[in-house]
Amino acid sequence: MANSLQGNLASTQHGERVATLIESISTEKVIQHGRLAGGGEPSAAAMVIREATEQDRQEIYRTRHDVYAVELGQHPQNPDGLLKNHLDQFNRYFVAIIDGQMAGFISVTPPEGGEYSLDGYLDRKQWPFEDRDRLFEVRLLTVKSGRRGSLLATALMYASFRAVEASGGTRLVVIGRTEVASIYRSSGYVDHGIELVKGDVTFLLMSATVDQVRKQVEKRPQLVDRIEQTVDWQLSFPLRKPAACFHGGGFFEDVGDGFQSLSRREEIINADVLDAWFPAAPGVISTLSEHLDWLVRTSPPTGCEGLIAAIAAARGVAETSVLPGAGSSDLIFLAFNQWLSSSSRVLLLDPTYGEYFHVCEKVLRCQVDRFQLRREAGFEVAVEQLQAQVADGDYDLVVVVNPNSPTGRHLPLSEVQSIIEATPASTLFWIDETYIEYVGSAHSLEQFGCQRKNVVVCKSMSKGYALSGVRSAYLCASPEILEPLRALTPPWAVSLPGQVAAVKALEDPEYYQRQYQATALARESMARDLQELGLEVIPSVANFLLTFLPADGPTAAQVVQHCRRSGVHLRDASNMGSALGTHALRTAVKSPQQNSQIVTAIAEALSTVQA
């Protein structure tokens, strides 16, 4: 076996034998100008990367003995033909399997074992870094013959990095051969100027923080794309670092995300999020206040039975057509994770609520198409074009936020119905009606959706009922759609304060109708004031306005930063769509007094900030 491996265990740098190296996440020069270094292409064979089984470990130990003891003579040979040591009691091995055979492996030594191979080379008093509590050592990258120039080594090294990152590691250490030190450096590793010698081989001690390696990975997005396309990832942690969707809420930095200074809320206008400016209905406030002690220490009804009954009665639908959740994002993640995969085709409006791009593109990696809404058309949905695009039934899911965010534009009920009716039933429509109450509940698609097998209406009670803090929402659809999701919904999905608040809110539609009317008046007044400042204001039916700052003035990011100094938090909307540009600014509609403060803050920013 030693002869079969000799000269074939290789890295991609000058054909050097990987068996002679203790290598890091980035030993292979993985991407140059969008291609694999050396011009190699991934193997056509399916590659599985998984954690080593006990059987895998025996093969790993035999391979290590054949290479490091028999072939290279770096360790004494032993009768059983296995090379392992006490570190293997807690080492993690990740293996690459191609055509049912092990093609390579890599090892990660975690801090829980209290010892590293580095201890055999250097006294810890001489270690050149202090952050050792979450230190991981990456070592023993080994690739068998015939895989030179493939993606295999790269995928193994990336797997080891993700293992460290997902385990809360803060630093990686590697003992790297001097000939490939430049590659380590380009990957974020620091050469500490310490040479370590074993036999005839000279190594350099190098390390990097997890953040340093992460920055290098993010500079090479093609790398992760290729791994994702090529590898059957069977590890317990996700291939990609979970991405966060930005939602605004920067005002909590002023209040304190540990809630240290809640009294400061009186000094801050949180117009970067779209929470209602008015309080919840009097019955909500009085009930929560009177029974707060009991509500916060008592388990809620397991299946939200009372909340479901209240929603069904208020909306005129069957209780079997209602599925509650802890906010619309909770329901989006629940449903989309069950329905969609990387092979699913999804159509989203552009611009629209960012959570949908986040979940479909970054979390589930779906094939997402964007239906462009154009500024010159006031971001209205071109109904005939949308209907034509979905008519062939190629999409698994079509998402329509109506009224749309961040534009505030609304599609009439009849037009949404006509699009759905003209589309094959194989396409599922997800209608997000978070802001529909500002238009009128009669415009909701809920009753229509319950009669069809391809419509789900998502209703948040946060923005229209002033209940953002208690996280109460629901889906409205036919029982056939909801039952599979109901089986996956945990008990007590909505807190007891959230259930009580939602029920009490639904009991007082007259109160909320007055608030919607007041919001409309405040919105139109604010729009006029902003137009007088020279802003382009997109007509809206909801509790927010999308605007565009003068092109020759400061950007939205600059205005947001300036306004924050006076306690006014606004949303830079440039990243809320693919073509909104750097001067797109969104503001929530607040009370008349707060709206006046918002306008004043924007005026000051426009007059003082240099473009």
The model's pLDDT over 304-352, given as tens digits with 9 standing for 90+, comes to 999 999 999 999 999 999 999 999 999 999 999 999 998 999 999 999 9
Domain assignment of residue 238, yes or no = no
Domain assignment of residue 239, yes or no = no
All residues at 6 or more sequence positions from 152 whose CB lies less than 8 Å from its CB, including other chains: 43, 47, 96, 98, 103, 104, 143
Residue that is written with structure tokens 């990097």 in the block: 208
255 and 261 in contact (C-beta within 8 Å)?
yes
Claim to verify: residue 322 and residue 291 sit in the same structural domain? yes
568 and 593 in contact (C-beta within 8 Å)?
no
Claim to verify: residue 467 and residue 524 sit in the same structural domain? no
Claim to verify: residue 214 and residue 343 sit in the same structural domain? no
Domain assignment of residue 246, yes or no = no
Sites in the chain below the pLDDT cut of 50 = 1-45
**What residues make up the domain containing 348?**
282-508
All residues at 6 or more sequence positions from 264 whose CB lies less than 8 Å from its CB, including other chains: 254, 255, 256
Claim to verify: residue 90 and residue 187 sit in the same structural domain? yes
Residues 255-294 as b or e (16 or more Cβ within 10 Å = b): beeeeeeeeeeeebbbbbbbbbbbebbebbeebbeeeeee
Claim to verify: residue 499 and residue 516 sit in the same structural domain? no
- Say what the pTM is: 0.77
Claim to verify: residue 168 and residue 93 sit in the same structural domain? yes
Domain assignment of residue 442, yes or no = yes
Claim to verify: residue 504 and residue 521 sit in the same structural domain? no
Q: What is the pLDDT of residue 296?
A: 96
Amino acid at position 144, single letter: K
All residues at 6 or more sequence positions from 3 whose CB lies less than 8 Å from its CB, including other chains: none
Claim to verify: residue 300 and residue 188 sit in the same structural domain? no
Q: What is the pLDDT of residue 132?
A: 85
Domain assignment of residue 245, yes or no = no
Q: How many CB atoms lie within 10 A of CB 33?
A: 6
Residue that is written with structure tokens 């509500």 in the block: 295
Strand order in 322-325's β-sheet?
322-325, 473-477, 455-460, 428-432, 397-401, 345-350, 367-372
Last residue of a domain, one of 479, 508, 537: 508
Q: How many Å from the N-terminal Cα to the C-terminal Cα in the chain?
A: 68
Domain assignment of residue 240, yes or no = no
Last residue of a domain, one of 455, 476, 508: 508
Residues 575-597 have pLDDT tens digits of 899 999 999 999 999 999 999 99
Claim to verify: residue 55 and residue 153 sit in the same structural domain? yes
Rounded distance between C-alpha atoms, residue 526 and residue 438, angstroms = 16
Torsion of CA 130, 131, 134, 136, to 10 degrees: -60
All residues at 6 or more sequence positions from 267 whose CB lies less than 8 Å from its CB, including other chains: 567
Domain assignment of residue 31, yes or no = yes
Rounded distance between C-alpha atoms, residue 185 and residue 174, angstroms = 12
CATH of the domain at 262: 3.90.1150.10
DSSP-derived secondary structure letter, 291: T
Claim to verify: residue 256 and residue 307 sit in the same structural domain? no
CATH of the domain at 208: 3.40.630.30
Domain assignment of residue 528, yes or no = yes
Q: What is the pLDDT of residue 298?
A: 96
Angle 209-213-217 from CA coordinates, rounded to 5°? 160
Last residue of a domain, one of 204, 233, 262: 233
Helix, strand, coil share (%) of the chain residues, nearest 5: 40, 20, 40
All residues at 6 or more sequence positions from 110 whose CB lies less than 8 Å from its CB, including other chains: 90, 91, 92, 136, 167
Amino acid at position 417, single letter: Q
Claim to verify: residue 443 and residue 336 sit in the same structural domain? yes
Q: Which helix (H) or strand (E) holds 185?
A: helix 181-186
Q: What is the pLDDT of residue 220?
A: 87
Rounded distance between C-alpha atoms, residue 504 and residue 461, angstroms = 12
Q: Which helix (H) or strand (E) holds 464?
A: helix 462-465
What's the number of domains the chain is made of?
A: 3
CATH of the domain at 438: 3.40.640.10
Claim to verify: residue 181 and residue 265 sit in the same structural domain? no
DSSP-derived secondary structure letter, 32: B
Residues 65-102 as b or e (16 or more Cβ within 10 Å = b): bbbbbbbbeebeeeeeebbbeebbeebbbbbbbbeeeb
Rounded distance between C-alpha atoms, residue 10 and residue 20, angstroms = 9
